[in-house]
Structure 1
């Protein structure tokens, strides 16, 4: 019997994927948030967890080819987004979902008085391409504090 999550597909079927956020590698996103890459579905989308320490503010960016759906799982903070003349800042708390449409400038920050990090599960469509040109610097709402 094969281990859980390692089932091999037959024919044109895609393999099952299973991942644990606590066991995922840690990478730093272009905006400065820590990212735990989890799964990729046949080039159509990927899932990762973003984490930002209390009081931290990301760099503002926009994406060249991907868009994202976010779901806050822990912590509190704010998300700022801008498309052309339309601009919005929304609170982030567990249970909040938000979209980052293609080309949207965005930035987020974790509450300074939070007891733990802001954690966001995010689906990226198509999957993050891993290129330096994907995240384009943008003028944000707050001064970034991440390295």
Structure 2
């Protein structure tokens, strides 16, 4: 039997993601993990793809944009509180915060984040900061 986990959102980032975003690690179970992502106003994450995980994001604060690409399909979506989106396995993606607003999201990774080497850098539409 797995123990219960209860956690309050950490004030400071737990780690910096390979894409450059601030991460506050939240609870995980065998099937998936959860994290809070944050980019400061005007920041642009590095474009990446994942080797083994897929993600579901929910935007909780701020505004920005997310670029996603799968093969020939490519799109940019506006990010604002209440928007949720998926990042299926193999998707190239990049996100950025608007110039006047930090961007915060909660994301589920399935399976849980395996560690270093999971993210591969790819070419995206924007220059990372």
Q: TM-score, normalised by structure 1?
A: 0.85
Which structure shows the bigger proportion of residues in strand conformation?
2
RMSD of aligned residue pairs (Cα, Å): 1.1
Q: TM-score, normalised by structure 2?
A: 0.96
> 1:142 corresponds to which residue?
126
CA shift digits 1:69-112 (9 cap, x unpaired): 00000000000000010001000000000100001000000000
Bigger relative contact order (CA 8 A; separation at least 6) = 2
| 1:1-147 paired onto structure 2 within 5 Å | 13-23=1-11, 26-41=14-29, 43-114=30-101, 117-131=102-116, 133-145=117-129
Q: Which has the larger radius of gyration?
A: 1
Runs of 4+ in 1 over 6 A off after TM superposition: none
Structure 2 segments unaligned to the other structure (5+ residues) = none
Matched residue count: 129
CA shift digits 1:28-70 (9 cap, x unpaired): 00000000001111x2100000000000000000000000000
